[in-house]
Amino acid sequence: GEDVEQSLFLSVREGDSSVINCTYTDSSSTYLYWYKQEPGAGLQLLTYIFSNMDMKQDQRLTVLLNKKDKHLSLRIADTQTGDSAIYFCLTSGTYKYIFGTGTRLKVLA
Amino acid sequence: KAGVTQTPRYLIKTRGQQVTLSCSPISGHRSVSWYQQTPGQGLQFLFEYFSETQRNKGNFPGRFSGRQFSNSRSEMNVSTLELGDSALYLCASSFREGNEQFFGPGTRLTVL
């Protein structure tokens, strides 16, 4: 079946940039989303990109999409301690929603 | 605008029982999706409803079912509960299928 892979952990220093990567297999994916989940909380939509775009910037967040390689990334500029959370990518294809495995981001003060 | 609400927030059941979870989408949203989150399997898509019709379905057994009402509110039902059904069940609403989904806080189900 279709799959979405992410690295399990990422640790960065406060003020640095964070880059979270996601690779997917579903070529029918039309929308690709990034969500943030803090301990004990639900999923917060951060941003999304449509499959005919290759980049989208939204304040501190930059999403890059390489459709040929089926690779999606989320860059967080000037990472803060409040950004510590688990980040999930979600692909939305033809009648399918597939979440990535999640990347736990730890920001060191 | 009020967010997605889910009731109840916590539930404890025993094996063999059945359970019904409820989800009220954001006003104006007509699509509701359900997901199961567990430490072992992560976030898995259960099903999606749009205009009272099931449009998508994930790979879950028939014990998992759902429905959507004319006001877009949705319920999911799990019959003959198993220990492995213990999970956080998340509901998400969107304006229509494929659009950005906004999630509720979830219902934490524990099966003893």
Question: How confident is the model over A25-76, as pLDDT tens digits?
Answer: 988 888 999 999 998 888 999 999 998 999 999 999 999 999 999 999 999 9
B85 in contact with A, Cβ within 8 Å: no
B104 in contact with A, Cβ within 8 Å: yes
Chain A residues lying within 8 Å of B99, measured CB to CB:
31
B101 in contact with A, Cβ within 8 Å: yes
Buried b (16+ CB within 10 A) or exposed e, B41-61: ebbbbbbbbbeeeebbebebe
Distance CA A38, CA A2 (A): 26
Which of A30, A45, A90 comes nearest B102 by C-beta?
A45
pLDDT tens digit string along B60-100?
Answer: 999 999 999 999 999 999 999 999 999 999 999 999 877 88
**Residues written for chain B:** 112
